[in-house]
């Protein structure tokens, strides 16, 4: 029996899949689900046999937000005291690449969880939004920051202030999602992308992820310098030798993750 109650986990080759599974609540993110997602993702991250992680939900909802019923009775002292939602920040320290496959609602905390992943593949049924303002709160899992970096001030203000949703096509145009695919193809396409990542050298994929993420934290000149040094360090790996040799010898590389 699975150790988890609100999520399903499985391994498909070198991909660790986490499926949010609270169908009656449209995968609303309660504290148990938060604990379980963080634990499952960290366990995959620590596993040498896993080269990519895929987080997904159901056809109807990736996640319809933080669990409003759980939050409703809380006082300021409680949410401040427990630092509500801070556990989600642990996903930003995960070094294995994480893909989000989003169909249906990705609202509030659902949109924020998708944005905590490295990139989003969306079904044409996906709907993204930060509707917290309609509940008398604001985004609390990084939405005001990550959405603004992803889509710019104009659209982030529009979404956070009006609480409206945007569909998958608008989200792709705005740069929030990497690809939009027909809903029926979502799981296959997302698994294919995660499998492609997992077939690369894991340390090199981690370096690529770290380099892209650095661009959000530093100046262009410092970021380019960081990238150059990490690029140089790839030459210390067996996988750089193998990758380039395989190209020259016109064969597929066999990476050893070292
Ligand atoms: N929390 C708890 N339960 C939920 C949530 C949620 N976010 N979303 C849906 N559910 C439940 C419904 O209550 C319902 O349960 P029941 O059958 O027991 O009444 C069940 O899921 C099905 O939902 P609906 O009947 O509403 O389904 P519809 O298809 O009619 O509507 C919607 C789907 C439009 C997605 C609708 O459910 C909805 O608007 N949900 C809420 C969306 C939302 O506002 N999300 C943002 C939540 S706040 C947040 O994520 C971040 C908060 C940050 C706060 C920081 C504080 C420190």
Q: Which atom of ligand 1 is nearest to the CA of 60?
A: 29
Task: List, for residues 22-74, the tens digit of each pLDDT value.
Answer: 999 999 999 999 999 999 999 999 999 999 999 999 999 999 999 999 999 99
pLDDT at site 53: 98
**217: three-class secondary structure by DSSP:** coil
What pLDDT, on a 0 to 100 scale, did the predictor assign at position 10?
98
Segment 188-242, tens digit of pLDDT: 999 999 999 999 999 999 999 999 999 999 999 999 999 999 999 999 999 999 9
Mind listing the pLDDT tens digit for each residue in 136-157?
999 999 999 999 999 999 999 9
63 alpha carbon, distance to own chain's centre: 13
Whether residue 210 lies in the annotated active site:
no
Given a contact cutoff of 8 angstroms between Cβ atoms, the answer to whether 169 and 180 are in contact is: yes
Contact (Cβ atoms closer than 8 angstroms) between residue 112 and residue 139: yes
CA of 188 to the centre of ligand 1 (A): 27
Which residue's CA is the nearest one to ligand 1's atom 40? Answer: 64
* ipTM of this predicted structure: 0.94
Taking CA atoms only, the protein residue closest to ligand 1 atom 44 is 131
Ligand 1 atom nearest to CA at 141: 53
Residue 6 has pLDDT above 90, yes or no: yes
pLDDT > 60? residue 176 = yes
79 lines ligand 1 (CB under 6 A): yes
The span from the CA of 126 to the CA of 232, in Å, is: 40
Q: Quick check: CB of 250 below 6 Å from ligand 1?
A: no
For residue 65, give both structure tokens: 């937000």
- Mean pLDDT calculated for residue range 79-102: 97
Specify the pLDDT at position 92: 97
User: Ligand 1 in contact with 132 (CB < 6 A)?
Assistant: yes
The answer to whether 54 and 191 are in contact (CB under 8 A) is yes
Query: Which residue intervals of 167-234 are DSSP H helices?
Result: 168-174, 186-198, 202-214, 220-234
- Of 165, 183, 22, 179, the closest CA to residue 99 belongs to 179
From 16, 109, 142, 143, the catalytic residue: 109
User: Is 238 a catalytic site residue?
Assistant: no
Instruction: Output the pLDDT for position 2.
Output: 76
pLDDT at 67: 98
CB of 109 shorter than 6 A to ligand 1: yes
| Residue owning the nearest CA to atom 11 of ligand 1 | 25
Per-residue pLDDT, 28? 98
Q: Give 1's pLDDT tier (boundaries 50, 70, 90).
A: low
């Amino acid at each position: 029996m699975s150790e988890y109650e609100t999520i399903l986990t499985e391994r498909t080759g070198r991909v660790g899949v986490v499926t949010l599974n609270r169908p009656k609540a449209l995968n609303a993110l309660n504290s148990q689900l938060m604990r379980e997602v963080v634990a499952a993702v960290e366990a995959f991250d620590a596993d040498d046999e896993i080269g990519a992680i895929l987080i997904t939900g159901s056809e109807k909802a990736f996640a319809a937000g933080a669990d409003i019923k759980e939050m409703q009775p809380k006082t300021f002292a409680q949410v401040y005291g427990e630092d509500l939602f801070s556990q989600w920040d642990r996903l930003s320290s995960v070094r294995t690449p994480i893909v989000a496959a989003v169909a249906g609602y990705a609202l509030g905390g659902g949109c924020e969880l998708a944005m905590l992943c490295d990139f989003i593949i969306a079904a044409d049924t996906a709907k993204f939004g930060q509707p917290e303002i309609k509940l008398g709160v604001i985004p609390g899992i990084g939405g005001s920051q990550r959405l603004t970096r992803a889509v710019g001030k104009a659209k982030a203000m529009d979404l956070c202030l009006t609480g409206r949703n945007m569909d998958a096509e608008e989200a792709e145009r705005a740069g929030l999602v990497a690809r939009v695919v027909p809903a029926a193809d979502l799981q296959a396409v997302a698994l294919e992308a995660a499998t492609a990542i997992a077939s690369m050298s894991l340390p090199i994929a981690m370096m690529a992820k770290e380099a892209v993420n650095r661009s959000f934290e530093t100046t262009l000149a410092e970021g380019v310098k960081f990238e150059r040094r990490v690029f140089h360090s790839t030459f210390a790996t067996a996988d750089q030798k193998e990758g380039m040799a395989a190209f020259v010898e016109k064969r597929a590389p066999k990476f050893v993750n070292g």
